[in-house]
């Protein structure tokens, strides 16, 4: 089963490689900086989920522009989050962060370029297909990553550092910061595959639940994993005085909560008639992951 998911990850890697052709001359460094973080070996969870959701509602065309776009937007957010003025992280996925390798100015611009090119690819694709549902998918991604989505989460996260916050605020941070993009991935898959409104809603709910579970596990791993296993320094939340689920629950209670959320995610998939085997597999793998 794991092999099947790897196959989808490889599909995404190939799309990403084709999306950023090797450049020469003056602008080489920008592309190098963009590629460096884009090829830094993430799990490609968002585009894989999108492709699986797409296939689950019967989609069988090429949606590589949207697969690339969501990974590019996720990657830009990591580059900017790692900057000295933000989380000031030197290591990401076991490698020096973008600004450590290319300098702060280029890292800022590489992030800006990934964000802009994500929309450029989607818009070019939507024009090629002349399909309004593709425009809708791009719009969902814009909303999820914008001022009321992912960026709002980051702002709220920063505002909450070194402060005691309540559980509702913590959930609001995660809902925006990581949840919005994961739910967008599955919703976009449903929209691109022309699923019924019920199917799209079910896929979005599935994404929302696993997004929440994902974050609970993230907080646990930051506490109990090792640097090597995680590919980045552990206990960074503690270092940055960040509030996590462990401020409210024990590790055991967190796992219980992640399990409950995963079950809700699995339930959401019940009304999808197409193949949801790998979507279910991923939901279960997410809570058993070690990095």
Q: Which residues bind its own copies (CB under 8 A)?
A: 26-27, 29-31, 34, 76, 80, 83, 85-86, 103-106, 108-109, 111-113, 115-117, 119-120, 123-124, 126-127, 130, 132, 135-136, 138-139, 142-143, 145-148, 151-152, 154-156, 158-159, 169, 172
Instruction: Tell me how far, at minimum, the Cβ of 68 lies from its own copies, in Å.
Output: 13
Give the nearest distance from C-beta 276 to its own copies in angstroms.
28
Residues 6+ apart with CB under 8 A from 82: 88, 89, 92, 97, 98, 99, 107
- State the Cα–Cα distance between residues 71 and 291, nearest whole angstrom: 18
CB of 218 to its own copies, least distance (A): 21
Closest CA to 245 of 269, 219, 226: 219
Q: Of 104 and 267, which has the nearer Cβ to its own copies?
A: 104
| Cα–Cα dist 290/58, whole Å | 32
Give me the least distance between CB of 9 and its own copies, in Å please. Answer: 24
Q: Which residue, 56 or 182, is less far from its own copies as judged by CB?
A: 182
Q: Are 276 and 56 in contact (CB under 8 A)?
A: yes
Closest approach, Cβ 11 to its own copies, in A, equals: 23
User: Least distance to its own copies from the beta carbon of 13, Å?
Assistant: 20
Count of CB atoms within 10 A of residue 147's CB? 9
Q: Which is nearer to its own copies, 5 or 114 (CB)?
A: 114
Residue 113: CB atoms within 10 Å: 20
Using CA atoms, how far apart are residues 249 and 217, in angstroms rounded to an integer?
A: 12
Dist CA 45 CA 78 (whole Å): 14
Let me know: does 291 contact 229? Beta carbons within 8 Å.
Answer: yes
Min. distance of Cβ 6 from its own copies in angstroms? 29
Nearer to its own copies, 152 or 234 (CB): 152
**Closer residue to its own copies in complex, CB, 124/267:** 124
Q: Name all contacts of 79-82 with Cβ < 8 Å and 24+ positions apart.
A: 79/37, 79/107, 79/110, 79/111, 79/114, 80/107, 80/108, 80/111, 81/154, 82/107
Nearest to 291 by CA among 236, 210, 233, 229: 229
Nearer to its own copies, 121 or 209 (CB): 121
d(CA 70, CA 182): 9
Which residue's CB is nearer to its own copies, number 11 or number 29? 29
């Amino acid at each position: 089963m794991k092999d099947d998911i790897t196959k989808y990850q490889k599909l995404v890697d190939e799309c990403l490689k084709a999306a950023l052709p090797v450049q020469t001359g003056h602008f080489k460094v920008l592309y190098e900086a963009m590629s460096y973080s884009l090829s830094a070996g993430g799990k490609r969870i968002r585009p894989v989920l999108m492709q699986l959701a797409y296939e689950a509602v019967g989609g069988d065309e090429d949606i590589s522009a949207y697969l690339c776009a969501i990974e590019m937007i996720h990657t830009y957010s990591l580059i900017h989050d790692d900057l000295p003025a933000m989380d000031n992280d030197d290591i990401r996925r076991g490698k020096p962060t973008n600004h450590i390798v290319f300098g702060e100015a280029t890292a800022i611009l590489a992030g800006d370029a990934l964000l802009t090119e994500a929309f450029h690819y989607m818009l070019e694709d939507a024009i090629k297909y002349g399909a309004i549902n593709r425009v809708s998918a791009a719009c969902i991604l814009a909303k999820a990553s914008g001022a009321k989505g992912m960026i709002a989460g980051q702002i709220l996260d920063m505002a909450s550092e070194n402060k005691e916050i309540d559980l509702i605020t913590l959930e609001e941070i995660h809902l925006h910061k990581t949840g919005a993009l994961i739910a967008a991935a599955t919703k976009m898959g449903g929209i691109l595959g022309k699923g019924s409104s019920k199917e799209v809603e079910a896929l979005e709910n599935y994404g929302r639940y696993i997004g929440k579970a994902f974050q609970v596990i993230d907080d646990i791993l930051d506490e109990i994993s090792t640097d090597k296993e995680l590919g980045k320094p552990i206990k960074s939340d503690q270092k940055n005085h960040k509030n996590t689920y462990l401020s409210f629950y024990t590790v055991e209670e967190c796992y219980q909560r992640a399990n409950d959320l995963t079950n809700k995610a699995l339930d959401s998939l019940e009304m999808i008639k197409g193949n949801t085997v790998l979507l279910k597999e991923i939901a279960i793998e997410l809570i058993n992951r070690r990095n």
